Amino acid sequence: MGKNSRGVAHVILLAIFIPIAIGLTLAFKTTFDKISSPSTPDSEEREISRSFFGDLLEGVGGALAPLSTQEPDAESATESEQATSPDSASAKDIAGDTTPPTITQMTGPADGSTISFNSFGFPIKASDNVSKYPNIWVRVKFDSDSWSGWSTNFSPYYNNVSEGSHSFSAQVKDEAGNLSSIVTRTFTVQLPKPLSISGQTFSDNNNNSIKDSGEAGLKITLALYKKEGGNWVYNQTIRTDDQGNFSFQLSTIGSYQLEPNQITFYDKPGPVEFTVDGSGGSKNYMFPYYPTSSQSGFIIYVFNDKNENSARDSNEEYIHYQNVDVTNTTTGYNWKAGVGVDGFDKIPADYGNYEVELVPQDSSWAYYYKITKGKASFTISSTSSTVTIELGAHKLY
């Protein structure tokens, strides 16, 4: 191989090496960008990489300037850093703050409203250009009271406020001492007036729904229900006195049902419904209980029918008899009762038609007693007084 051929070889090697070196440099630059872009948004690092490669590439060919337009802007990166910095305002920001905070929301009784309750709060929301919670303060004023101290309690609450007109004011302050406008509410507390309910429960013996003279009051209980979401919900039990009188008051607005409770020997009346609307007033309800049994009842005697004429004569005394068979033919109820010289009392007695019959205890009974008047029929009604039945048997021994 000659000297010339070696020089040619050098030229060829350089011609190969330079493009490779440039290609490798570009490849490295691209790879670096791909790695660094997502993980290092920091503008300073970008500046470093830009100037390093910019200088290098400019030194090589100076033809890659357009790359710089793809780099993020250093100033906007700085701004985004500020946006994610902590909330507390810097002393510099506070010192330069002349913008007052604003009360953006205040719930509670509305201005000019009349409310039917006397405990309530005024939850407050405020905002400021610089200061943030808890470095915003609120003060409040109720009626003619002095302003409160500055506080971070943004939910002032008031209990058992008197009836009548009231005012509530609130104001907020930022760290620079700027004061918001004062927000004031005037409103009226007007508690509901109670509804008075009274009445009487009584035994409506003649079933005319009116308490006539001689018809007694009944001591019972009544159940009070209040409508809640479409359903009657038990509220309380109302008790009458011995004469059946009751009275109570209701202040809670709503629909109510008063239902007399069941008691034995009476058909109970139906419930009544009424509304409590807060305007007061009174209502009176009479509850007629129709008796299903007589408080007079009946009494059965057996007389010693000495002359066996089936009638009780003046010298014929009441005697003991073993069994009387009693049937309420209206209800079908039947039982046996022993009859003494004082008679057999049935008080109270269910309404209905009755049949009674003396029955021998056994086959030997006729040896001692000869039944002369062994049967009777009678009716017990709501208006009957005590029914007296006399059956006759001649006591032989």
For Ca ion, the binding residues (CB under 5 A) are 97, 99, 128-130, 174, 178, 204, 206, 208, 210, 212, 305, 307, 309, 311, 313
> C-beta of 244: minimal distance to Ca ion in Å?
13
> C-beta of 130: minimal distance to Ca ion in Å?
5
Taking only Cα atoms into account, the Rg of the chain, rounded to an integer number of angstroms, comes to 52
Secondary element (H or E) of residue 139: strand 137-142
Q: Which among 206, 139, 148 has a CA at the least distance from the CA of 179? A: 139
Q: 3-class DSSP state for residue 306?
A: coil
> C-beta of 235: minimal distance to Ca ion in Å?
30
Nearer of residues 130 and 258 to Ca ion, judged by Cβ: 130
Residues 6+ apart with CB under 8 A from 86: none
> C-beta of 317: minimal distance to Ca ion in Å?
11
Nearer of residues 40 and 99 to Ca ion, judged by Cβ: 99
Nearer of residues 251 and 307 to Ca ion, judged by Cβ: 307
Q: 3-class DSSP state for residue 394?
A: strand
Nearer of residues 31 and 99 to Ca ion, judged by Cβ: 99
Residue nearest to Ca ion (CB): 174
Q: 3-class DSSP state for residue 354?
A: strand
> C-beta of 29: minimal distance to Ca ion in Å?
48
Nearer of residues 193 and 395 to Ca ion, judged by Cβ: 395
The Cα 140–Cα 301 span in angstroms is 88
Nearer of residues 233 and 311 to Ca ion, judged by Cβ: 311
Do residues 310 and 392 touch, judged by C-beta distance below 8 A? yes
Question: Taking the chain, what is the end-to-end CA distance rounded to the nearest angstrom?
Answer: 175
Do residues 126 and 103 touch, judged by C-beta distance below 8 A? yes
Tokens of 131: 């200061």
The distance of Cα 370 from the centroid of its chain, to the nearest Å, equals 74
> C-beta of 260: minimal distance to Ca ion in Å?
16
> C-beta of 139: minimal distance to Ca ion in Å?
16
Nearer of residues 184 and 209 to Ca ion, judged by Cβ: 209
> C-beta of 231: minimal distance to Ca ion in Å?
34
The Cα 260–Cα 244 span in angstroms is 11
The Cα 96–Cα 110 span in angstroms is 36
The Cα 256–Cα 233 span in angstroms is 9
Nearer of residues 38 and 134 to Ca ion, judged by Cβ: 134
